[in-house]
A = this chain, B = another copy of it.
Amino acid sequence: MRLVPDFIVQFFTKESTLYKELQTMLGFTPSNLALYELALCHRSNSNNSTENNERLEFLGDAILGAIIGEHLFVKYPTRPEGYLTDMRSKIVNRKTLNQIALKIGLKELMKFNEQDYYLRDSLIFGNALEALIGAIYIDKGYAKTRTFVRKRIMIPFVDIELLESLEVNTKNKLIGWASKQGKKIDFILIEEKLERGRKKFTIGVKLEEEIIATSTAYNKKEASKIAADEAIKRLEIAP
């Protein structure tokens, strides 16, 4: 079945430098080149609404979510679901993916309207990385895609231990800041209710007498953390 629109392979002919760069980036020899070319094609490059990477981005986003989900499930056998969800969203957030895409040189392989100044600083490169993952999946299957994600993305660019330590520290950072300012800060339980058979907790950050941030989650620690993140943003405390 044809999964790619009639699409002419223009850049990745087997003799081109770009093809060799792609091969180096992937760490294997791609079979269906049109898939990769499509993955690297931003909609600003084409007037045809299907000749761009958005469908592959949809697919790659789902495959990446599954691969990272499994990675975290195995890595943290005793952590609750909320922790896994939170860690995954830190790894696959658009900003992180965009940075990784820039680091592996995806921008140089992409086709987009380079006249559009806005695009040059946008997050389209991370989206293209997701599309590339979708292309690898269709071209090579799940196992190979997982190997690519682990070897080429996770191991070199995702410092899980760092993400973990950042997490622990938001609450402490906020407390430290308040102490320096001579201000009183408290984490208070605002509400506790049952939702679909699970307890949900709403935690508020109280600075002096004012509640400056709240968050709701299935456990108090998680809710406190997100509320602390919110408060840090709102108070504009530097990272």
- Interface size class on chain A is 35 or more
Q: Quick check: A124 and B55 within 8 Å, CB to CB? A: no
Do A118 and B194 contact each other (CB < 8 Å), given the known contacts A5-B78, A69-B58, A77-B3?
Answer: yes
Q: How far is the CB of A32 from chain B (nearest CB, A)?
A: 14
In contact, B80 and A54 (Cβ under 8 angstroms): yes
Q: Which of A42-50, A167-175, A201-209 contacts B (4 or more CB under 8 A)?
A: A42-50
Segment of A18-26, A60-68, A147-155, A229-237 in the binding face: A60-68
Look across to chain B and name the residue whose beta carbon is closest to the beta carbon of A61: B69
Contact B78–A69 (Cβ < 8 Å): no
* Chain B CB within 8 A of A222 CB: no
For A59, give its contact among B69, B78, B122 (CB under 8 Å). Answer: B69
**A112 CB contacts on chain B under 8 angstroms:** 197
Query: With A2-B77, A55-B80, A78-B50 given, is the CB distance from A197 to B122 under 8 Å?
Result: yes
A-B residue pairs in contact (CB < 8 Å), sample of 17: A3-B74, A3-B77, A4-B77, A5-B77, A42-B197, A43-B197, A44-B197, A54-B81, A55-B81, A58-B69, A58-B84, A62-B66, A62-B68, A65-B65, A118-B197, A122-B197, A142-B143
A226 to chain B, nearest CB (A): 17
A198 at the interface (CB under 8 A from B): yes
Q: How far is the CB of A47 from chain B (nearest CB, A)?
A: 13
> In the complex the two chains form, what is the Cα distance from A43 to B198 in whole Å?
8
A197–B66 touching, CB < 8 Å: no
Residues of A1-15 at the interface with B, using a CB-CB cut-off of 8 Å, are 1-5
Contacts of A138 in B (CB 8 A): 73
Residues on B with C-beta less than 8 A from A44 are 197
